[in-house]
Amino acid sequence: MTLQTVAGDHRAELKSLFGLENVRYRINLSKEELFQEALANDRGRIRPDGPDTDHKAYATRLGVRGPLVYYTDPSCTGRPVQDTFGVAWPEIENKVWWKADFQKFDPARYEALRARVIQHLNERKGTLYVKDVYCGTDASYARPYRLVSEYATHSFFCHNMFPKDVPGVADEAGKRWTMLNVPSFHCQPARDGTRSERIVLMDFRNRMALVLGRADYCGVVKKTMFTVMNFVLPEQGDLSMHCSANVGMSGDGAILFGLSGTGKTTLSADPGRKLIGDDEHVWTRNGISNLEDGCYAKLIDLDKHAEPIIAAALSMPGTLIENVPPLPGKRMEDTDPQELNLADRSITENTRFSYPLAANPNVMEGAKGPHPQTIVLLTADAFGVLPPVAILDQADVMYHFVSGFTAKLAGTEVGISEPKATFSACFGGPFMAQKPSVYAKLLGQSMAQHNTRCVLLNTGWSGGPYGVGKRISIKDTRALLNAALRGDLDPGKVQYATHPVFGLKMPASCPGVAGEILNPRNTWADKAAYDAQAQKLRDMFRKNFEEKGFAALGIQPRM
């Protein structure tokens, strides 16, 4: 098939799907070509008071042999969750878990908005970059994904983050999702029914997504499709998960759930285990597989010695640095990427870096692995009251999985900050398009079928809350994790005590870990203060459980 034929096929398909006619397509360009196109053509606002004609993409001193540096609109340095919607078609309205970060959008207003976007593009007569990839590495569930974008940078990012070749996918045309990403179209809330001038909108009936206006953060290209997969995969009995995954040398698989700051990425990067992936996975009848083919890591305050893979990838061709400021008085084109100040948060705390999964030296072939023997639910308890490790039975797993707890620090002011509880169902609430009980049921069924153990691993504080106690050492956390992975903490192998407030089963001993830290009350000098703090956190769990209505969804309360 000639390139002209391929281009003709895309043009015909996009005309049929959207009504696009008067546009120029750049189809499935190489990353080197997209690099040059981004430098030449990507234009938009990069400063709060700046014009919409600034360059968005820059080269470093390494040119095309190094990373592409990209700046988002300053109002969109992270996912615009309050502007994320789903079209409330009647057939899916009762299935979707509607919430503040995934709201209903009226179907009639959606169709009118889509028509205005197409009219805008046809009148603009601009260039659209088309990138064909897949979401998923296993043909049994993978969905073809076509990104149609005004920015070459988004096509470049999409190439990094998703598989390019997944043989054996049946009915590709009937499964394909298409995203139309149009930063130049600014919504009018009164006319379009949007909350602001931007929107991220998913249409599950027609398998399409619209990303409009100042929503050009690269993570939208990735997480929108994760939300899509979280809706479609449970429909066929597959469990999509916000987790990392790896495999030990004896072939034992593990998955690690956890919110930001709990250690999900760090703990899965183990030289003694092969990485499947660090963020998005699916558990099917075939085992665990990655939805992606890349990594999208935070860069802020990166310790290059602790994270040598990311540090090395900063200078690799085909990688993408997002929202790291240039050095004062120095052009980006004259800057070596290793010179960049990764502690500079003047643009955003959420500086990012996209690189291919293959940049990791120890990856499972095909980004796939066996059914997991161990599931780890990670939390970083800044209240200092949860045990460092607890063994969970199935009812415990369901409760803690839908709770999705961690405790973050409230701020960075001088002095002691009050910890702030965060509950994110299934450890990825904003992306869970179906109700939490759907994922919990699938998790429970899969665990029972494959006799999978589960532990709650706390990477937070001991001996007191943040500001008083100390964070549990990475040495102890690694020892606890390795013991769990080996099965050393399985029932019958160690003695347990039951926590009087949380009801969690705490091992009395663990190889390589001082026994006194395993019961967190023992580490507090003021036992009464510990009891009060534990009861305070328990009440937060109870309030979240009641407010979310988990009991009505069949989840048993455990506190």
Catalytic residues: 79, 223, 242, 260, 264-265, 279, 352
Q: Residue 56 corresponds to which amino acid? A: K
User: Minimal CA–CA distance to 451: which of 260, 309, 252?
Assistant: 252
8 Å CB contact between 220 and 264: no
Percent helix, strand, coil in the chain, to 5, is 35, 25, 40
Question: Residue 314: what residue type?
Answer: L
Tokens at 270, concatenated: 């183990």
CB atoms within 10 A of CB 508: 11
- With the C-alpha atoms ordered 462, 466, 468, 473, is the resulting torsion angle positive or negative? positive
Q: What is the distance between the alpha carbons of residues 287 and 256, in angstroms, rounded to a whole number?
A: 15
Encoded amino acid at 422, one letter: T
What distance in Å separates the CA atoms of residue 208 and residue 376, rounded to the nearest whole number?
A: 34
Q: How far is CA 443 from CA 239, 486, 520, in A?
A: 7, 21, 29
Nearest to 71 by CA among 282, 351, 264, 459: 351
Give residues with Cβ within 8 angstroms of 263, minimum separation 6: 256, 378, 380, 459, 477
Please name the residue that has the structure tokens 């390589």: 512
Let me know: does 417 contact 297? Beta carbons within 8 Å.
Answer: no
Q: Give how far the C-alpha of residue 415 lies from the chain's centroid of Cα atoms, to the nearest Å.
A: 32
**DSSP state letters, 408-462:** EE----SSPPPEEEEE-GGG-GGG--B-HHHHHHHHHHHHHHHT-EEEEEE-SEE
Q: Find tokens 């692995």 and name the residue.
A: 369
Tell the burial category of 258 from Cβ atoms under 10 Å away from its Cβ (0-12, 13-18, 19+): buried
For residue 328, give the amino acid letter: P
The letter for the amino acid at 431 is F
Dist CA 116 CA 12 (whole Å): 20
Cα 147 to Cα 169: distance, rounded to the nearest angstrom: 18
**Positive or negative, the Cα torsion across 27, 31, 32, 35?**
positive
Contact 197, 165 (CB under 8 A): no
Structure tokens, 411: 């701020």
Contact by Cβ (8 Å): 477, 263: yes
3-class DSSP state of 550: coil
